[in-house]
Amino acid sequence: MNKHIYPYFKKENVYLDELKADDIQRYYYRKSLEGITSNSLLRHHSNLYTCLKYATKKHLIQQNPMMDVVRPKAVKFVPNFYSPTELINLLEVSKDSKIYVCIILAALLGLRRSEIIGLKWQNVNFTDKTIMIKLKAYRLRKDDNDTISPKLKTSSSYRILCLPDVLIKYLTNLRDLQLTKLKSPDYNQEYKDFICVDECGNRLNLDQVTNTFIRLIKQKNLRKIRFHDLRHSCATMLMILGYSIKQIQLWLGHSDISTTGNIYLHISTKDKSDMAKRINDVIQIYL
């Protein structure tokens, strides 16, 4: 609401009691010209409907204009992802990147960018080899700093994941390195509890992760994907390894199994020989 809807109608000088269906349809059209996807516009539609329904109930407006608005059409989402071989290559060529910790957590655990930035060392249990997802980073406005919040996307987003040995080893070394750097007077002590910090101790932010990843992909001449597509790549790898849609749903923290199924079901038709080859690709780097 604060990022798109409110600023738009404020700029257009359209007040609540003057809002018409045509104003909302025009909003959808202009936002589509700005590059907002149909699926994002569907969320805008849902938010507007809920708000205006409440306004009608409270007699702030006489009639809900959404009743005459044509709902944006949904476009079936087909994920872009790296194969296990491409994923391993990315992990190899990005080891010196300042966002490598974010890349490996997204690639091996399928975490959302916001969940990664919110991770603290206290969320990692090195004895049980688990990690708890319970915080996220978010930003209300473009120019704001990231805020860490305990309110995740859905209740299913709160989860405990088991850590692969390779990730336990990496996080152990990273923690030791950060503890050593903490002794330096120039190291930022403010974010010492966070996992994802730069070499000076400053917490990485959402834009840094996105922009650095874009540059990295281009510099290393890798196939273009978004940072969020590492999450899809992890899910794809889990399907290739033979895990069920339900298991992947719980791993990714989807609230609805249909979300997982609609996105990844088409991947499950891989034949067994291809699965065996890709499994070999996955484990080869760790042997």
DSSP string, 199-248: TTSPBP-HHHHHHHHHHHHHHTTPPP--TTHHHHHHHHHHHHTT--HHHH
**pLDDT band at 19; cut points 50, 70, 90:** very high
Query: What predicted TM-score, i.e. pTM, was given to this entire model?
Result: 0.69
Quote the pLDDT of residue 268.
43
Distance of alpha carbon 63 from alpha carbon 56, whole angstroms: 6
Average pLDDT, the chain: 84
Is the per-residue pLDDT at 177 higher than 70?
yes
In terms of average pLDDT, the best of 70-84, 148-162, 248-262 is 70-84
pLDDT of residue 24: 94
Ordered by start, the domain boundaries in the chain are 5-68, 84-284
Which pLDDT score is estimated for 180?
96
**How far is residue 200's CA from residue 178's CA, in Å, rounded to a whole number?**
9
CA dist., res. 88 & res. 82, Å (int): 9
Architecture of domain 84-284: Orthogonal Bundle (1.10)
Residues 6+ apart with CB under 8 A from 5: 27, 44, 47, 48
Give the helix/strand (H/E) hosting 138: strand 136-138
Is the model's pLDDT at 271 over the cut of 80? no
